[in-house]
Structure 1
Amino acid sequence: MKLSAIVLNGVSAFDMLSGTSHKCGGLNPKEELRIGDLNNELMSIEERMHMSLSTEKIVGGRQVDDIKNWNWIGQLGGYCGGSLVADDMFLTAAHCCESTRIGQTVYFGVLNPWEDQGKAQKRKVSEMLNHPDFDRPTLTHDICMIKLDSPIDQDRNVRPICLADSASPKNTPAYVAGWGLTSEGGPQSRDLMEVSVPIVTNKECQNAYSHRPVDDTMFCAGKKEGGEDGCQGDSGGPIVTVDGDGKVSLAGVVSWGVGCARPGKFGVYSRVDTQLDFIHWSIQTLR
Protein backbone atom coordinates (compact mmCIF):
# COMPACT_ATOMS: atom_id res chain seq x y z
CA MET A 1 0.00 0.00 0.00
CA LYS A 2 1.46 3.34 -0.99
CA LEU A 3 1.73 6.00 1.69
CA SER A 4 0.15 8.53 -0.64
CA ALA A 5 -3.03 6.49 -0.53
CA ILE A 6 -3.31 6.63 3.25
CA VAL A 7 -5.81 9.02 4.72
CA LEU A 8 -4.37 11.07 7.58
CA ASN A 9 -6.92 10.34 10.21
CA GLY A 10 -6.70 8.34 13.40
CA VAL A 11 -8.04 4.95 12.40
CA SER A 12 -6.81 4.51 8.83
CA ALA A 13 -3.31 5.84 9.50
CA PHE A 14 -2.69 3.75 12.59
CA ASP A 15 -4.29 0.63 11.21
CA MET A 16 -1.68 0.85 8.49
CA LEU A 17 1.11 1.36 11.02
CA SER A 18 0.15 -1.66 13.12
CA GLY A 19 -0.10 -3.78 10.01
CA THR A 20 3.51 -3.29 9.01
CA SER A 21 6.35 -5.73 9.40
CA HIS A 22 9.21 -4.41 11.51
CA LYS A 23 12.06 -6.95 11.60
CA CYS A 24 14.93 -4.62 12.25
CA GLY A 25 17.39 -5.52 14.97
CA GLY A 26 18.99 -2.11 15.11
CA LEU A 27 22.69 -1.30 15.02
CA ASN A 28 24.01 -4.35 16.82
CA PRO A 29 27.44 -5.84 16.17
CA LYS A 30 27.63 -8.02 13.04
CA GLU A 31 24.13 -6.98 11.98
CA GLU A 32 23.29 -5.01 8.90
CA LEU A 33 20.92 -2.07 8.99
CA ARG A 34 17.62 -3.59 8.00
CA ILE A 35 13.99 -3.15 8.85
CA GLY A 36 12.21 -5.09 11.43
CA ASP A 37 8.84 -6.09 12.55
CA LEU A 38 6.45 -3.40 13.68
CA ASN A 39 5.26 -5.90 16.21
CA ASN A 40 7.09 -3.73 18.71
CA GLU A 41 5.57 -2.56 21.89
CA LEU A 42 6.26 0.63 23.60
CA MET A 43 8.90 0.87 26.06
CA SER A 44 9.41 2.41 29.31
CA ILE A 45 8.92 4.35 32.43
CA GLU A 46 11.13 5.93 35.07
CA GLU A 47 11.15 5.53 38.76
CA ARG A 48 8.20 7.77 39.71
CA MET A 49 9.36 10.22 37.03
CA HIS A 50 10.73 13.57 37.99
CA MET A 51 7.65 15.75 37.95
CA SER A 52 9.75 18.83 38.58
CA LEU A 53 10.59 18.86 34.88
CA SER A 54 8.17 19.67 32.09
CA THR A 55 6.98 16.60 30.24
CA GLU A 56 6.08 16.56 26.59
CA LYS A 57 2.91 14.79 25.67
CA ILE A 58 0.91 13.86 22.63
CA VAL A 59 -1.90 16.30 21.78
CA GLY A 60 -4.85 15.20 19.61
CA GLY A 61 -3.73 11.58 19.39
CA ARG A 62 -4.98 8.29 20.73
CA GLN A 63 -3.90 5.75 23.32
CA VAL A 64 -1.63 2.96 22.07
CA ASP A 65 -3.33 -0.41 22.49
CA ASP A 66 -0.34 -2.72 22.07
CA ILE A 67 3.29 -2.04 22.93
CA LYS A 68 4.40 -4.29 20.10
CA ASN A 69 3.67 -1.47 17.66
CA TRP A 70 6.25 0.77 19.40
CA ASN A 71 8.63 -1.77 20.90
CA TRP A 72 11.70 0.43 20.39
CA ILE A 73 10.39 3.25 22.60
CA GLY A 74 11.66 3.87 26.11
CA GLN A 75 11.01 6.39 28.84
CA LEU A 76 13.73 8.33 30.58
CA GLY A 77 13.06 9.89 33.97
CA GLY A 78 9.46 10.76 33.28
CA TYR A 79 10.50 13.84 31.38
CA CYS A 80 11.77 12.45 28.06
CA GLY A 81 11.42 9.56 25.66
CA GLY A 82 13.86 7.90 23.32
CA SER A 83 14.46 5.00 20.97
CA LEU A 84 16.40 1.77 21.26
CA VAL A 85 18.74 1.71 18.23
CA ALA A 86 20.91 -1.21 19.37
CA ASP A 87 20.56 -3.71 22.19
CA ASP A 88 22.55 -1.41 24.50
CA MET A 89 22.12 2.04 22.85
CA PHE A 90 19.31 4.55 23.41
CA LEU A 91 18.90 7.62 21.19
CA THR A 92 17.25 10.75 22.60
CA ALA A 93 17.49 14.54 22.45
CA ALA A 94 20.59 16.39 23.63
CA HIS A 95 18.49 18.75 25.73
CA CYS A 96 17.15 15.66 27.54
CA CYS A 97 20.66 14.45 28.33
CA GLU A 98 21.41 17.81 29.94
CA SER A 99 18.94 16.81 32.68
CA THR A 100 20.00 13.16 32.89
CA ARG A 101 22.29 11.65 35.49
CA ILE A 102 24.42 8.52 35.29
CA GLY A 103 22.48 5.67 36.87
CA GLN A 104 19.08 6.98 35.86
CA THR A 105 16.58 4.30 34.87
CA VAL A 106 15.17 3.78 31.37
CA TYR A 107 12.03 1.65 31.06
CA PHE A 108 11.14 -0.50 28.04
CA GLY A 109 8.28 -2.75 26.98
CA VAL A 110 5.30 -1.20 28.80
CA LEU A 111 2.48 1.17 27.94
CA ASN A 112 2.13 2.70 31.41
CA PRO A 113 5.47 3.29 33.17
CA TRP A 114 3.83 4.19 36.47
CA GLU A 115 1.62 1.12 36.83
CA ASP A 116 3.53 -1.57 34.92
CA GLN A 117 7.04 -1.27 36.32
CA GLY A 118 7.06 -4.93 37.27
CA LYS A 119 6.56 -5.88 33.62
CA ALA A 120 9.14 -3.47 32.22
CA GLN A 121 12.70 -4.16 31.20
CA LYS A 122 14.78 -1.66 33.17
CA ARG A 123 18.25 -0.46 32.35
CA LYS A 124 20.48 2.22 33.85
CA VAL A 125 22.23 5.05 32.04
CA SER A 126 25.89 4.07 31.93
CA GLU A 127 27.37 6.79 29.70
CA MET A 128 26.08 9.42 27.28
CA LEU A 129 27.34 11.61 24.47
CA ASN A 130 25.71 14.77 23.16
CA HIS A 131 26.41 15.78 19.58
CA PRO A 132 29.60 17.90 19.81
CA ASP A 133 27.91 20.72 17.86
CA PHE A 134 24.75 20.80 19.95
CA ASP A 135 23.68 24.40 20.52
CA ARG A 136 21.21 24.96 23.35
CA PRO A 137 19.79 28.33 22.21
CA THR A 138 18.91 27.12 18.70
CA LEU A 139 18.64 23.37 19.44
CA THR A 140 20.65 22.55 16.34
CA HIS A 141 22.12 19.01 16.52
CA ASP A 142 19.68 18.19 19.34
CA ILE A 143 20.65 14.53 19.58
CA CYS A 144 22.30 12.36 22.23
CA MET A 145 23.36 8.73 22.50
CA ILE A 146 22.99 6.92 25.82
CA LYS A 147 24.79 3.66 26.58
CA LEU A 148 22.77 1.30 28.77
CA ASP A 149 24.41 -0.62 31.60
CA SER A 150 23.55 -3.95 29.96
CA PRO A 151 21.98 -5.13 26.69
CA ILE A 152 18.22 -5.41 26.37
CA ASP A 153 16.65 -8.86 26.06
CA GLN A 154 14.89 -8.63 22.72
CA ASP A 155 11.33 -9.94 22.52
CA ARG A 156 8.01 -8.90 20.95
CA ASN A 157 7.79 -5.91 23.30
CA VAL A 158 11.36 -4.65 23.14
CA ARG A 159 13.42 -4.47 19.96
CA PRO A 160 15.72 -1.88 18.33
CA ILE A 161 14.50 0.17 15.40
CA CYS A 162 16.48 0.94 12.26
CA LEU A 163 17.45 4.41 11.14
CA ALA A 164 16.25 6.47 8.19
CA ASP A 165 19.02 7.18 5.68
CA SER A 166 17.15 9.76 3.60
CA ALA A 167 14.57 12.49 4.05
CA SER A 168 10.86 11.90 3.50
CA PRO A 169 8.99 14.21 1.11
CA LYS A 170 6.28 16.68 2.03
CA ASN A 171 2.97 15.16 3.20
CA THR A 172 4.54 11.81 4.13
CA PRO A 173 2.60 10.52 7.15
CA ALA A 174 4.81 10.38 10.23
CA TYR A 175 4.00 8.85 13.60
CA VAL A 176 4.97 10.19 17.02
CA ALA A 177 4.53 8.54 20.43
CA GLY A 178 5.15 9.55 24.01
CA TRP A 179 3.93 10.16 27.54
CA GLY A 180 3.86 13.95 27.41
CA LEU A 181 1.11 16.45 28.08
CA THR A 182 -2.22 15.79 26.39
CA SER A 183 -2.85 19.52 25.95
CA GLU A 184 -0.79 22.68 26.26
CA GLY A 185 -0.49 23.33 30.00
CA GLY A 186 -2.59 20.22 30.69
CA PRO A 187 -1.96 16.91 32.45
CA GLN A 188 0.68 14.36 31.57
CA SER A 189 -0.53 11.06 30.17
CA ARG A 190 0.19 7.92 32.15
CA ASP A 191 -0.48 5.83 29.05
CA LEU A 192 1.54 5.79 25.86
CA MET A 193 -0.11 7.97 23.22
CA GLU A 194 0.42 8.16 19.46
CA VAL A 195 -0.44 10.67 16.77
CA SER A 196 -0.09 10.86 12.99
CA VAL A 197 1.20 14.11 11.45
CA PRO A 198 2.26 14.99 7.88
CA ILE A 199 5.81 16.13 7.15
CA VAL A 200 6.14 19.71 5.89
CA THR A 201 9.03 21.38 4.09
CA ASN A 202 11.73 23.20 6.02
CA LYS A 203 10.89 26.35 4.06
CA GLU A 204 7.31 26.24 5.24
CA CYS A 205 8.48 25.53 8.77
CA GLN A 206 11.01 28.37 8.70
CA ASN A 207 8.23 30.76 7.70
CA ALA A 208 6.37 29.67 10.84
CA TYR A 209 9.45 30.28 13.02
CA SER A 210 11.05 33.42 11.64
CA HIS A 211 12.73 34.13 14.99
CA ARG A 212 14.98 31.05 14.98
CA PRO A 213 16.71 28.82 12.43
CA VAL A 214 15.23 25.65 11.00
CA ASP A 215 18.37 24.06 9.56
CA ASP A 216 19.31 20.78 7.90
CA THR A 217 19.70 19.04 11.26
CA MET A 218 15.91 19.45 11.67
CA PHE A 219 12.65 18.66 9.94
CA CYS A 220 9.07 19.58 10.77
CA ALA A 221 5.68 17.89 10.82
CA GLY A 222 2.14 18.93 11.66
CA LYS A 223 -1.00 20.48 10.27
CA LYS A 224 -1.49 24.16 9.55
CA GLU A 225 -4.73 24.12 11.49
CA GLY A 226 -2.98 22.56 14.50
CA GLY A 227 -4.78 20.19 16.85
CA GLU A 228 -2.30 17.28 16.70
CA ASP A 229 1.29 17.40 17.93
CA GLY A 230 3.84 16.32 20.49
CA CYS A 231 4.07 18.37 23.67
CA GLN A 232 6.17 18.79 26.81
CA GLY A 233 7.35 15.38 27.97
CA ASP A 234 7.54 13.83 24.52
CA SER A 235 11.02 15.31 23.97
CA GLY A 236 13.61 12.85 22.72
CA GLY A 237 10.95 10.39 21.68
CA PRO A 238 10.59 8.83 18.23
CA ILE A 239 9.00 10.09 15.06
CA VAL A 240 8.88 7.27 12.51
CA THR A 241 7.88 6.79 8.88
CA VAL A 242 6.73 3.72 6.98
CA ASP A 243 7.67 3.17 3.34
CA GLY A 244 5.60 1.51 0.62
CA ASP A 245 7.05 -1.90 1.51
CA GLY A 246 6.06 -1.58 5.15
CA LYS A 247 9.56 -0.72 6.36
CA VAL A 248 9.51 1.33 9.55
CA SER A 249 12.40 3.74 10.17
CA LEU A 250 13.32 6.24 12.85
CA ALA A 251 13.22 9.59 11.05
CA GLY A 252 13.98 11.81 14.02
CA VAL A 253 13.59 12.66 17.69
CA VAL A 254 11.15 15.14 19.23
CA SER A 255 13.04 18.42 19.71
CA TRP A 256 11.09 21.69 19.98
CA GLY A 257 8.13 23.86 19.01
CA VAL A 258 6.09 26.81 20.23
CA GLY A 259 3.27 25.67 22.47
CA CYS A 260 1.54 22.40 21.62
CA ALA A 261 -0.56 21.80 18.52
CA ARG A 262 -1.06 25.53 17.90
CA PRO A 263 -2.38 26.58 14.47
CA GLY A 264 0.44 27.63 12.17
CA LYS A 265 3.13 26.14 14.44
CA PHE A 266 4.71 22.82 13.53
CA GLY A 267 6.56 20.30 15.64
CA VAL A 268 10.33 20.36 15.03
CA TYR A 269 12.39 17.18 15.09
CA SER A 270 16.11 16.45 15.11
CA ARG A 271 16.85 14.59 11.87
CA VAL A 272 18.43 11.17 11.92
CA ASP A 273 19.55 10.91 8.29
CA THR A 274 21.77 14.04 8.38
CA GLN A 275 23.36 12.95 11.68
CA LEU A 276 24.16 9.32 10.97
CA ASP A 277 27.89 9.98 11.24
CA PHE A 278 27.45 11.11 14.83
CA ILE A 279 25.19 8.16 15.64
CA HIS A 280 27.69 5.59 14.35
CA TRP A 281 30.66 7.43 15.90
CA SER A 282 28.95 7.66 19.29
CA ILE A 283 28.16 3.94 19.33
CA GLN A 284 31.76 3.07 18.50
CA THR A 285 33.06 5.52 21.11
CA LEU A 286 30.75 4.37 23.91
CA ARG A 287 31.51 0.71 23.25
Structure 2
Amino acid sequence: MKGNLLTHSTLGLLRRPAFRRAAAIGAVALATASLQPVAAHAAPAPVVGGAPAAQGEFPFMVSLSMGCGGSLYKKDVVLTAAHCVDGSGNTTRITATAGVADLGSAGAIKVRSTKVVQAPGYDGNGKDWALIKLARPIELPTLKIATTTRYNRGTFTVAGWGDTAENANTGSTKLLKAKVPFVADRQCKRHYGARLIAGQEICAGVPRGGVDTCQGDSGGPMFRKDDAGKWLQVGIVSWGDGCARPLTPGVYTEVSTFAGAISRAAAGL
Protein backbone atom coordinates (compact mmCIF):
# COMPACT_ATOMS: atom_id res chain seq x y z
CA MET A 1 0.00 0.00 0.00
CA LYS A 2 1.47 3.15 -0.92
CA GLY A 3 0.42 6.69 -0.81
CA ASN A 4 -0.77 8.51 -3.78
CA LEU A 5 0.30 12.09 -4.11
CA LEU A 6 3.90 12.84 -3.43
CA THR A 7 5.54 16.12 -2.86
CA HIS A 8 7.99 15.39 -5.64
CA SER A 9 11.09 16.82 -4.04
CA THR A 10 14.29 16.76 -6.08
CA LEU A 11 15.85 14.67 -3.35
CA GLY A 12 13.38 11.83 -3.73
CA LEU A 13 13.54 11.74 -7.51
CA LEU A 14 17.29 11.41 -7.74
CA ARG A 15 17.33 7.65 -7.44
CA ARG A 16 14.06 6.15 -8.53
CA PRO A 17 11.05 7.52 -10.39
CA ALA A 18 8.56 5.23 -8.66
CA PHE A 19 5.29 5.94 -6.89
CA ARG A 20 5.53 6.56 -3.17
CA ARG A 21 2.43 5.05 -1.76
CA ALA A 22 1.36 8.06 0.31
CA ALA A 23 -1.90 9.84 -0.36
CA ALA A 24 -2.59 13.09 -2.11
CA ILE A 25 -2.56 15.14 1.05
CA GLY A 26 1.19 14.69 1.16
CA ALA A 27 3.57 14.75 4.09
CA VAL A 28 2.77 16.72 7.19
CA ALA A 29 5.05 19.60 8.14
CA LEU A 30 6.26 19.46 11.74
CA ALA A 31 6.44 22.32 14.22
CA THR A 32 10.17 22.35 14.75
CA ALA A 33 13.15 24.23 13.41
CA SER A 34 15.23 21.11 12.80
CA LEU A 35 13.10 19.46 10.12
CA GLN A 36 14.62 17.66 7.18
CA PRO A 37 12.99 17.61 3.72
CA VAL A 38 10.84 14.63 2.88
CA ALA A 39 11.69 12.67 -0.24
CA ALA A 40 9.09 11.30 -2.59
CA HIS A 41 9.21 8.06 -4.53
CA ALA A 42 6.22 6.92 -6.49
CA ALA A 43 3.61 4.67 -4.90
CA PRO A 44 0.61 2.35 -5.43
CA ALA A 45 -3.13 2.50 -3.84
CA PRO A 46 -5.88 1.16 -1.05
CA VAL A 47 -5.22 -2.32 -1.60
CA VAL A 48 -5.73 -3.05 -5.30
CA GLY A 49 -7.53 -6.35 -5.81
CA GLY A 50 -8.36 -6.51 -2.12
CA ALA A 51 -11.41 -7.62 -0.18
CA PRO A 52 -13.11 -5.83 2.73
CA ALA A 53 -11.59 -6.56 6.13
CA ALA A 54 -13.97 -7.42 8.95
CA GLN A 55 -14.40 -5.08 11.90
CA GLY A 56 -11.71 -6.00 14.44
CA GLU A 57 -9.83 -8.31 12.06
CA PHE A 58 -6.67 -6.16 12.15
CA PRO A 59 -7.10 -4.04 15.32
CA PHE A 60 -3.55 -2.68 15.08
CA MET A 61 -4.25 -0.82 11.81
CA VAL A 62 -4.15 2.98 11.90
CA SER A 63 -5.21 5.58 9.34
CA LEU A 64 -3.21 8.82 9.42
CA SER A 65 -4.62 12.21 8.45
CA MET A 66 -1.82 13.04 5.98
CA GLY A 67 -3.04 10.21 3.73
CA CYS A 68 -0.90 7.32 4.98
CA GLY A 69 -1.40 4.19 7.03
CA GLY A 70 0.43 2.81 10.03
CA SER A 71 0.37 0.21 12.77
CA LEU A 72 0.30 0.40 16.55
CA TYR A 73 3.88 -0.35 17.58
CA LYS A 74 2.95 0.64 21.14
CA LYS A 75 -0.43 1.77 22.37
CA ASP A 76 0.75 5.37 22.07
CA VAL A 77 3.23 4.99 19.18
CA VAL A 78 2.43 4.44 15.50
CA LEU A 79 4.96 2.93 13.08
CA THR A 80 4.70 4.35 9.56
CA ALA A 81 6.89 5.33 6.57
CA ALA A 82 9.52 8.08 6.69
CA HIS A 83 8.26 9.56 3.42
CA CYS A 84 4.88 10.23 5.06
CA VAL A 85 6.39 12.92 7.30
CA ASP A 86 8.64 15.93 6.76
CA GLY A 87 11.19 15.24 9.47
CA SER A 88 11.54 14.83 13.23
CA GLY A 89 10.04 17.15 15.81
CA ASN A 90 7.00 18.13 17.84
CA THR A 91 3.66 18.33 16.06
CA THR A 92 -0.04 18.11 16.83
CA ARG A 93 -1.06 18.24 13.17
CA ILE A 94 -1.41 14.48 12.62
CA THR A 95 -4.57 12.64 13.64
CA ALA A 96 -4.49 8.87 14.02
CA THR A 97 -7.77 7.03 13.49
CA ALA A 98 -8.07 3.49 14.83
CA GLY A 99 -10.54 0.91 16.06
CA VAL A 100 -12.65 0.71 12.92
CA ALA A 101 -12.53 -0.94 9.51
CA ASP A 102 -14.86 1.74 8.17
CA LEU A 103 -13.43 5.22 8.74
CA GLY A 104 -16.93 6.62 8.69
CA SER A 105 -18.00 4.55 11.67
CA ALA A 106 -19.16 6.36 14.81
CA GLY A 107 -16.88 4.12 16.86
CA ALA A 108 -13.65 5.50 15.40
CA ILE A 109 -10.95 6.40 17.91
CA LYS A 110 -9.16 9.63 16.97
CA VAL A 111 -5.99 10.77 18.73
CA ARG A 112 -3.66 13.67 17.90
CA SER A 113 0.09 13.35 17.58
CA THR A 114 2.60 15.04 19.86
CA LYS A 115 5.92 14.16 18.23
CA VAL A 116 7.42 12.47 15.17
CA VAL A 117 10.75 10.69 14.73
CA GLN A 118 11.84 10.12 11.15
CA ALA A 119 14.53 7.49 10.52
CA PRO A 120 17.94 9.09 11.16
CA GLY A 121 19.72 9.84 7.90
CA TYR A 122 16.62 9.34 5.76
CA ASP A 123 17.19 10.87 2.32
CA GLY A 124 14.53 9.19 0.23
CA ASN A 125 16.55 6.06 -0.48
CA GLY A 126 15.88 3.24 1.98
CA LYS A 127 15.44 3.73 5.74
CA ASP A 128 11.76 4.35 5.08
CA TRP A 129 10.35 4.24 8.62
CA ALA A 130 9.08 6.76 11.14
CA LEU A 131 7.37 6.80 14.53
CA ILE A 132 4.49 9.01 15.63
CA LYS A 133 3.92 9.61 19.34
CA LEU A 134 0.27 9.96 20.31
CA ALA A 135 -1.23 12.26 22.92
CA ARG A 136 -2.75 9.28 24.71
CA PRO A 137 -2.69 5.48 24.43
CA ILE A 138 -5.15 3.69 22.18
CA GLU A 139 -6.37 0.62 24.04
CA LEU A 140 -6.09 -1.83 21.16
CA PRO A 141 -3.69 -4.69 20.36
CA THR A 142 -0.28 -3.70 19.05
CA LEU A 143 1.59 -5.35 16.18
CA LYS A 144 4.93 -6.96 16.99
CA ILE A 145 7.71 -6.36 14.47
CA ALA A 146 10.17 -8.92 13.11
CA THR A 147 13.67 -8.77 14.57
CA THR A 148 15.23 -11.35 12.23
CA THR A 149 14.80 -12.29 8.57
CA ARG A 150 13.27 -15.65 9.51
CA TYR A 151 9.78 -14.61 8.46
CA ASN A 152 10.79 -12.73 5.32
CA ARG A 153 9.27 -15.43 3.13
CA GLY A 154 5.99 -17.06 2.26
CA THR A 155 2.76 -15.14 1.76
CA PHE A 156 2.07 -11.82 3.45
CA THR A 157 -1.06 -9.85 4.23
CA VAL A 158 -1.38 -6.17 3.35
CA ALA A 159 -4.22 -3.88 4.35
CA GLY A 160 -5.09 -0.23 3.95
CA TRP A 161 -7.49 2.54 3.02
CA GLY A 162 -5.63 3.60 -0.14
CA ASP A 163 -6.62 3.73 -3.80
CA THR A 164 -8.12 0.63 -5.38
CA ALA A 165 -6.57 1.37 -8.78
CA GLU A 166 -3.53 3.21 -10.09
CA ASN A 167 -4.18 6.96 -10.43
CA ALA A 168 -7.64 6.59 -8.91
CA ASN A 169 -6.88 9.35 -6.37
CA THR A 170 -9.95 8.48 -4.33
CA GLY A 171 -8.91 6.24 -1.47
CA SER A 172 -11.33 4.04 0.41
CA THR A 173 -13.29 4.59 3.60
CA LYS A 174 -13.35 0.84 4.15
CA LEU A 175 -10.26 -1.15 5.11
CA LEU A 176 -9.25 -3.55 2.34
CA LYS A 177 -6.96 -6.57 2.64
CA ALA A 178 -5.05 -8.78 0.23
CA LYS A 179 -2.44 -11.53 0.10
CA VAL A 180 0.89 -10.99 -1.67
CA PRO A 181 3.69 -13.57 -2.02
CA PHE A 182 7.34 -12.87 -1.23
CA VAL A 183 9.51 -11.96 -4.22
CA ALA A 184 13.25 -12.63 -3.91
CA ASP A 185 15.66 -9.71 -4.38
CA ARG A 186 17.13 -11.37 -7.47
CA GLN A 187 13.73 -11.52 -9.14
CA CYS A 188 12.65 -8.07 -7.92
CA LYS A 189 15.79 -6.53 -9.42
CA ARG A 190 14.78 -7.78 -12.85
CA HIS A 191 12.36 -4.87 -12.83
CA TYR A 192 13.87 -2.32 -10.43
CA GLY A 193 17.58 -2.96 -10.92
CA ALA A 194 19.84 -0.85 -8.71
CA ARG A 195 16.84 1.14 -7.43
CA LEU A 196 16.11 -1.71 -5.01
CA ILE A 197 18.21 -1.53 -1.84
CA ALA A 198 18.75 -5.14 -0.85
CA GLY A 199 18.95 -5.60 2.91
CA GLN A 200 16.78 -2.55 3.55
CA GLU A 201 13.84 -3.39 1.31
CA ILE A 202 11.74 -6.48 0.68
CA CYS A 203 9.52 -7.15 -2.33
CA ALA A 204 6.15 -8.84 -2.61
CA GLY A 205 3.58 -9.13 -5.35
CA VAL A 206 1.54 -11.36 -7.63
CA PRO A 207 3.42 -12.03 -10.91
CA ARG A 208 0.29 -11.60 -13.05
CA GLY A 209 -0.47 -8.30 -11.35
CA GLY A 210 -3.90 -7.22 -10.18
CA VAL A 211 -3.11 -7.26 -6.45
CA ASP A 212 -0.95 -4.67 -4.70
CA THR A 213 -0.84 -1.77 -2.30
CA CYS A 214 -1.25 1.70 -3.81
CA GLN A 215 -1.41 5.45 -3.13
CA GLY A 216 -2.75 6.03 0.36
CA ASP A 217 -1.38 2.73 1.68
CA SER A 218 2.10 4.09 2.43
CA GLY A 219 3.28 3.43 5.95
CA GLY A 220 0.88 0.56 6.51
CA PRO A 221 2.16 -2.85 7.60
CA MET A 222 2.89 -5.97 5.59
CA PHE A 223 2.49 -8.87 8.01
CA ARG A 224 2.14 -12.63 8.43
CA LYS A 225 1.65 -15.20 11.18
CA ASP A 226 4.67 -16.31 13.23
CA ASP A 227 5.18 -19.87 14.48
CA ALA A 228 2.88 -19.18 17.41
CA GLY A 229 0.11 -18.04 15.08
CA LYS A 230 0.45 -14.37 16.04
CA TRP A 231 0.56 -11.51 13.55
CA LEU A 232 4.08 -10.22 12.92
CA GLN A 233 5.03 -7.17 10.85
CA VAL A 234 7.79 -7.81 8.31
CA GLY A 235 7.40 -4.77 6.06
CA ILE A 236 6.20 -1.19 5.74
CA VAL A 237 4.44 -0.08 2.54
CA SER A 238 7.00 2.10 0.78
CA TRP A 239 7.04 2.45 -3.02
CA GLY A 240 6.71 0.82 -6.42
CA ASP A 241 6.20 1.52 -10.12
CA GLY A 242 2.48 2.08 -10.46
CA CYS A 243 0.03 -0.24 -8.72
CA ALA A 244 -0.63 -3.92 -9.39
CA ARG A 245 1.19 -4.01 -12.72
CA PRO A 246 2.30 -7.45 -14.00
CA LEU A 247 5.85 -8.45 -13.02
CA THR A 248 6.15 -5.28 -10.92
CA PRO A 249 6.31 -6.15 -7.20
CA GLY A 250 5.57 -3.67 -4.45
CA VAL A 251 8.60 -2.56 -2.43
CA TYR A 252 8.42 -2.54 1.37
CA THR A 253 10.80 -1.43 4.10
CA GLU A 254 12.41 -4.56 5.57
CA VAL A 255 11.41 -4.11 9.21
CA SER A 256 13.88 -6.59 10.71
CA THR A 257 16.81 -4.51 9.41
CA PHE A 258 15.66 -1.53 11.47
CA ALA A 259 14.12 -3.32 14.46
CA GLY A 260 16.86 -2.17 16.84
CA ALA A 261 16.74 1.45 15.64
CA ILE A 262 12.95 1.49 15.86
CA SER A 263 13.04 0.13 19.40
CA ARG A 264 15.59 2.71 20.52
CA ALA A 265 13.67 5.56 18.89
CA ALA A 266 10.40 4.44 20.52
CA ALA A 267 12.07 4.27 23.93
CA GLY A 268 13.08 7.92 23.54
CA LEU A 269 9.60 9.22 22.76
Matched, 1:265 2:253: no
- TM alignment of 1:15-26, pairs within 5 A: none
- Hey, what does 2:135 align to over in structure 1? 149
Question: 2:25·2:66 contact (CA, 8 Å) conserved in 1?
Answer: no
Q: Contact 1:227 / 1:261 at 8 angstroms: preserved in 2?
A: yes
**1:174 paired residue among 147, 156, 161:** 156
Aligned to 2:192: 209
Tell me which amino acid in the other structure corresponds to 2:136.
Answer: S
Q: Deviations over 1:219-264 (max 9, x none)?
A: 0100211110000000000110113431210111100000000011
Distance 1:103 1:151 in 2: 17
Deviation at 1:171, TM superposition (A): 5.4
Q: How many angstroms does 1:211 deviate by? A: 5.1
Is 1:87 paired with 2:108?
no
Residues 170 and 215 of structure 1: CA distance in aligned 2, closer, same or farther (over 3 Å) = closer
Equivalent pair of 1:55/1:80 in contact (CA under 8 Å): no
CA offset digits 1:143-194 (Å, max 9, x no partner): 0011111111x2xxx2111111222567501000000110111232111000
Partner Cα separation in structure 1 for residue 189 and residue 122 of structure 2: 19
3-state SS in 2 of match to 1:119? coil
Query: In the alignment, does 2:91 pair up with 1:110?
Result: no
Q: Which residue of 1 aligns with 2:10?
A: none
CA distance in 2, matches of 1:95, 1:267: 16
For residues 235 and 224 of structure 2, the distance between their equivalents in structure 1, rounded to whole angstroms, comes to 9
Q: Structure 1 stretch 126-135 or stretch 208-217: which is displaced more?
A: 208-217
CA 1:204–1:184: 2 relative to 1, 3 Å: same
Indicate yes or no: 2:107 matched with 1:119: yes
For residues 3-42 of structure 1, the aligned pairs below 5 Å read none
Distance 1:170 1:71 in 2: 22
**Which whole-Å CA distance do the structure 1 matches of 2:66 and 2:119 have between them?**
22
- Of residues 141-150 and 98-107 in structure 1, the stretch that sits farther from structure 2 once superposed is 98-107
SS at match of 1:214: coil
Match 1:251 to one of 226, 229, 234: 234
Distance 2:71 2:121 in 1: 21
Give the number of the structure whose residues are more often strand, by fraction.
2
Which structure 1 segments of 5+ residues have no match? 1-49
Percent of aligned pairs with the same residue?
35
Corresponding residue SS for 1:69: coil
**Separation in 2, partners of 1:245, 1:191:** 29
Letter in 2 for 1:176: V
- Which of 212, 218, 235 is the aligned partner of 2:218? 235
- Which whole-Å CA distance do the structure 2 matches of 1:170 and 1:74 have between them? 23
Greater RCO, 1 or 2 (C-alpha within 8 Å, sep 6+): 2
Q: Deviation at 1:73?
A: 0.6
Secondary structure at the counterpart of residue 149 of structure 2:
coil
Q: Does 1:191 align with 2:168?
A: no
Aligned residues between the structures: 228
How far residue 65 of structure 1 moved from its aligned partner, in angstroms, is 1.9
Would the aligned equivalents of 1:55 and 1:188 in 2 still touch at CA under 8 Å? no
Measure the CA separation in 2 of the matches of 1:274 and 1:52: 29
> Structure 1 residues 273, 173: CA separation in 2 closer, same or farther (over 3 Å shift)?
same
Question: Under a length normalisation based on structure 2, what TM-score does the superposition of the two structures give?
Answer: 0.79
Counterpart residue number, 1:24: none
In the alignment, is the contact (CA less than 8 A) between 1:90 and 1:147 conserved in 2?
yes
CA RMSD of superposed structures (Å)? 2.0
Equivalent in 49, 52, 58 of residue 63 of structure 1:
52
User: What is the CA distance between 1:135 and its match in structure 2?
Assistant: 2.0
1:224 to 189, 193, 207: 207
What residue identity is the alignment partner of 1:83?
Answer: S
TM-score normalised per structure 1: 0.74
Q: Which amino acid aligns with 2:268?
A: T
Q: Which residue of 1 aligns with 2:116?
A: 128
Query: In the alignment, residue 240 of structure 2 is paired with which amino acid?
Result: G
> What does residue 141 of structure 2 align with?
159
* Pairwise CA distance, 1:77: 0.9
Q: CA deviation at 1:133?
A: 2.3
